[in-house]
Amino acid sequence: MQGEVQIGGAKNSALKLMVAALLGQGAFCLENVPHITDVCTMAEVLESLGARVRFNAQRMEIEVNALQGRTPEHLVKSMRASVQVMGPLLARLGWVEVALPGGCAIGRRPLDIHLSGLQQMGASIALNGERLVARAPRGLRGADITFRYPSVGATENIMMAAVLAKGETVIRNAAREPEIADVQAFLNAMGARVTGAGTEVIRIEGVGELGCANFVVMPDRIEAGTYLLALLTTGGAGTVCSVRPEHLSPLLNAVRSMGAEIAVDGDRISVAAPKRLRPFGLVTRPYPGFPTDLQPQMVAAATQAHGRSELRETVFDQRFGYLTELRKLGAVARQKGQVVAIHGPTKLHGTRLEAGDLRAGAALVVAALAAEGQSLIHGSQHIDRGYEALERKLSGLGARIRRVE
Ligand code: EPZ
């Protein structure tokens, strides 16, 4: 495959900015919002809470006036990110009710870090059947909170709870993902006082109220990494455009170690696959480590590397479900606990595949593109959660891909 592909706005920023708007008042405009199903689901969540959302062609207008704090069960079950509304609604209304998010294909994903942070800020939280009810009738107060693990969602939830709390909140061992810097910048544009995003200590000075703001969502580093790995795995050369290369350093270092030529020019990254892809040894880590969201796609690339690659997954406890499907294509991959060893190169042959979750689905597409013959991938609804116009973008790189009902 070869050519250029335009990268869209980051799913894992846009979803949080939409929720952060609940803290403010008035008319917001978000640009570079990806048209993916998770964003549409979050728009439904916001509307169920009383906000008005208009969304077309990457531009989203959100009107926030009166709100209520009960989220619809079916929406929270379908998308874990809905629990991000707890912080803002507790801060603004003094109460919130959310269904427990379903477990999902990549592991248990508890909420203990979110809930303990909110409790330290004065919230009382009860489980009412399958629904979490949180109350802070006298408002939230600032607290000095140390996370046992740098949870991305918990960092953002507590940041948002803290912007209207009384006094200062400090989050220690905070997650450092780039999307958190987007949330900080957006909150500050609304009148909040947040500092430290991108480092492990975030400080939030509570203020009385927030206004509204306009904002441009940062590029999606995981979408960009997925297309770079598709080019590499098919032995091609191409460019991803409108990205922030500094957000992709862990991936660029990994593909360079595999022998790829990488050229960075402003907001464009070009990759050219070597004749012989070298194997790698990798561990997924919280940012700035290698991102778990590119782990399945990296394993797909390893099937074409000459030798034995090894990858350890340390962020989620069940994120190798897709290996069964990769083996159907002909991959030689052995999993032992949280480590997978992949022997390559293996000739892959197209077949019928089942996508179990978003990034697993992306990995199957990458591997199927490198396979001989046609593959049929069921479960494209999982892929559509995080990739806008996947078949159009891949066709632009020379792939033969189409959607079939
Ligand atoms: C965000 O999920 C992303 N989702 C995930 O991307 C990403 O994989 C993850 O961060 C890690 O980078 C969104 O931003 C919408 P975590 P999140 O809280 O916030 C455990 C994708 O494909 N944990 O950092 O849920 C948890 O079980 C998605 O785009 C607790 O134990 O991630 C997991 O093992 C997948 N208790 C680990 O921490 C808690 O209270 C990381 O979770 C919270 C988390």
- Model's pTM, two decimal places? 0.97
End position of a domain, from candidates 216, 237, 253: 216
Judgement on whether residues 251 and 202 belong to the same structural domain of the protein = no
What is the Å distance from ligand 1's center to 12 Cα?
10
Q: Is the CB of 69 under 6 A from ligand 1?
A: no
What is the Å distance from ligand 1's center to 79 Cα?
12
Do 233 and 187 reside in the same domain of the chain?
no
Residue 337 pLDDT class (50, 70, 90 cuts): very high
pLDDT of residue 147 exceeding 90: yes
Whether residue 275 is contained in a domain is answered as: yes
402 occurs within a structural domain: no
State the pLDDT confidence band at 103, using cuts at 50, 70 and 90.
low
Task: Decide if 403 is inside a domain.
Answer: no
Closest residue by Cα to atom 26, ligand 1, is: 109
Domain that holds residue 154: 10-216
pLDDT in tens, 266-306: 999 999 999 999 999 999 999 999 999 999 999 999 999 99
- 103 & 167 share domain: yes
In a domain, 28, yes or no: yes
Find the 151 Cα to ligand 1 centroid distance in Å.
6
- Residues 6 or more apart whose CB falls under 8 angstroms from that of 34 comprise 8, 9, 10, 11, 14, 58, 217, 220, 223, 388
Distance 81 CA to ligand 1 centre (A): 9
> How confident is the prediction for the chain on average, in pLDDT?
96
Nearest Cα neighbor of 189 from 355, 351, 364, 30 is: 30
Which atom of ligand 1 is nearest the CA belonging to 286? Answer: 12
Residues 209 and 294 in one domain: no
C-beta 81 within 6 A of ligand 1: yes
Are 173 and 165 within 8 A, CB to CB?
Answer: no
Q: Is the CB of 316 under 6 A from ligand 1?
A: yes
Q: How far is the CA of 107 from the centre of ligand 1 (A)?
A: 10
Judge if 50 and 191 occupy the same domain.
yes
107 Cα nearest atom in ligand 1: 27
Active-site residue list: 104
The preferred substitution site among 11, 12, 78, 116 for testing ligand 1, maximizing ligand atoms within 8 Å of CB, is: 12
- Residues 330 and 378: their CA atoms lie apart, in Å, by 18
Q: State if residue 292 touches ligand 1 by the CB under 6 angstroms criterion.
A: yes
Quick check: is 122 in a domain?
yes
How many residues are given for the chain? 405
Residue 129 lies in a domain: yes
| Same domain? 322 vs 225 | yes
- 121 and 265 housed in the same domain: no
Residue 174 CB less than 6 A away from ligand 1: no
Query: Into how many domains does the chain fold?
Result: 2
In the chain, the percentage of residues whose pLDDT exceeds 90 is 91
Q: Do 95 and 185 lie in a common domain? A: yes
Q: Which two tokens stand for residue 22?
A: 């609940």
Residue nearest to atom 38 of ligand 1 (CA): 151
**Residue of 45, 158, 200, 315 to mutate, ligand 1, most atoms within 8 A of C-beta:** 315
Mean pLDDT lowest among 79-83, 135-139, 192-196, 255-259? 79-83
Q: Is the pLDDT confidence value at 92 over 70?
A: yes
315 CB near ligand 1 (under 6 Å): yes
User: Following DSSP, what letter does each residue of 319-346 receive, concatenated?
Assistant: --TTHHHHHHHT-EEEEETTEEEEEE--
Q: Is residue 23 part of a domain?
A: yes
- With a 6 A CB cut-off, is 109 part of the ligand 1 pocket? yes
Q: Where a domain ends, among 193, 216, 239? A: 216
Closest CA to ligand 1's atom 21: 293
Q: Report which protein residue has its CA nearest ligand 1's atom 32.
A: 152
Pair (200, 115) in one structural domain: yes
Which atom in ligand 1 lies closest to the alpha carbon of residue 357?
A: 22
* pLDDT band, very low/low/confident/very high, at 102 (cuts 50, 70, 90): low
Q: Where is the domain boundary, 216, 248, 278?
A: 216
**Residues 316 and 364 occupy one common structural domain:** yes
State how far the Cα of 88 lies from the Cα of 68, in Å rounded to an integer: 11
Query: How confident is the model at residue 82, as a pLDDT?
Result: 84
pLDDT, residue 106, reads 80
**388 within a domain of the structure (yes/no):** yes
Does the pLDDT value for residue 104 go beyond 70?
A: no
259: left (phi over 0), alpha (psi -120 to 50) or beta: left
The answer to whether residues 98 and 198 belong to one domain is: yes
Ligand 1 and 12: CB distance under 6 A: yes
CATH number for the domain that contains residue 67: 3.65.10.10
151 lines ligand 1 (CB under 6 A): yes
Residues 6+ apart with CB under 8 A from 207: 163, 164, 191, 192, 193
Q: Does 308 lie in the same domain as 179?
A: no
